[in-house]
Amino acid sequence: MLATLIRLLGDFDRAEEAMAEAFTAAVEQWPRDGVPANPRAWLVSAGRFKGIDAMRRHARFDASYDTVADLTGQDTNDPARLADDAVEDDRLRLMFTCCHPALAQDTQVAMTLREVCGLTTEEIASAYLVPAPTLAQRIVRAKAKIRDARIPYEIPSAKELPERLDAVLRVVYLVFNEGYAASSGDALTRADLSAEAIRLGRLLVELLPEPEAAGLLALMLLHDSRRTSRTTGDGDIVLLDDQDRSLWNRPQIAEGLALVQGALASRRFGPYTLQAAIASAHAEANSAAATDWRRIAVIYDLLLDIDPSPVVELNRAAAIAMRDGPAAGLALIEGILARGELPEYQPAHAARAELCRRLGRAEEARRSYRRAIELTRQEPARRYLERRLSELA
């Protein structure tokens, strides 16, 4: 409903005020006159009139009178325009506006959670460990920029869609990862962020059936299916190999697998779909030993092809180590580090340590574990690495 009012009134703050006034009017009128046949349409319509009224009052003092004329001229009395299918489009428009590249990425995340998910400023601030006034300020500035620079409130044209969709997907994935990473902060709030990201992912797939949107939703579902098995009751990390696979959320895995297959079949997939394909190879293995590393290595080759990065190379090296033995994987990791890439990336040193340990090169393993521990800021990861290091001593 907020999304629709933003379209009709052309301004976030005006729409929020108008929505509040419409609810107030409903509380007064519905008990007296009965609940209207289509409550949502009634609220949108009331909100629109309240919003236009407010603008007329302001118009006496300023130049926004033209806008009022624009808005009242629109064919918005047509009930079809207020019907439910138009609402879905409004939510999609809102997502594209909140994730517009003219806004900084952390602002895109905050705006999406605030305006699309409806989280409060305080909830978002506590999830991201920033002071609420800082976040409130960021949102106020973003709304002002959307209004003053006239950032459009519409679904991008086919030509711009791929790039703009990437921005939306990136925001959804950032929200998911923030909720999924076993980092500091209130564990409960974090899980909520992942759930919000999955909700956004579902909404996108429903509104815009693009393969990469399906790939991202699959990726999130498959990772999230392992949520309960990836830490112990004390919050210690349990690696994929050691997880109790009976704890994995099977219905969620089934949904993820079906989405991956659909996205792959489209042949227009991208990096999210391929990452989901890797996650599905793990999900399909009944035990760690049954993992199809040959298939995983091939998918990493494809991923490196379309989205090359040292982090993907590192993950591929870990898969190669499983397929061809630790020496082959270690050679690849040393190659990455020798090029001066990922020098401060904790997982690179942790992976090197692990492979050295398996090869019986204890001294090198200890050095790499120590380096990884220095670089770790997450308490559970630090505990895990220290445990490994002490096992070597």
Partner 1 sequence: MQYMLMCCIDEGRWEALPAASRNAIMRDYGAWVGEMQRLGKHVATARLESASHAQTIRLQDGRRNVVDGPFAETKEQFGGYHVLECRDLDEALALAERIPTLPHGGAIEVRALETAA
Q: Which residues bind partner 1 (CB under 8 A)?
A: 62-64, 100, 102, 148-152, 156, 160
CB of 105 to partner 1, least distance (A): 17
**From CA 49, how far away is CA 45, in angstroms rounded?**
6
Q: Is the CB of 100 or the CB of 223 nearer to partner 1? A: 100
CB of 161 to partner 1, least distance (A): 12
CB atoms near residue 212 (< 10 Å): 22
CB of 103 to partner 1, least distance (A): 11
- CA 314 to each of CA 324, 338, 370, 376: distance values in angstroms, whole numbers, following the listed order: 15, 13, 19, 17
The answer to whether the beta carbons of residues 357 and 368 sit under 8 Å apart is no
CB of 101 to partner 1, least distance (A): 9
Chain centroid, CA 270 distance in Å:
16
CB of 63 to partner 1, least distance (A): 4
**From CA 285, how far away is CA 279, in angstroms rounded?**
10
CB of 102 to partner 1, least distance (A): 6
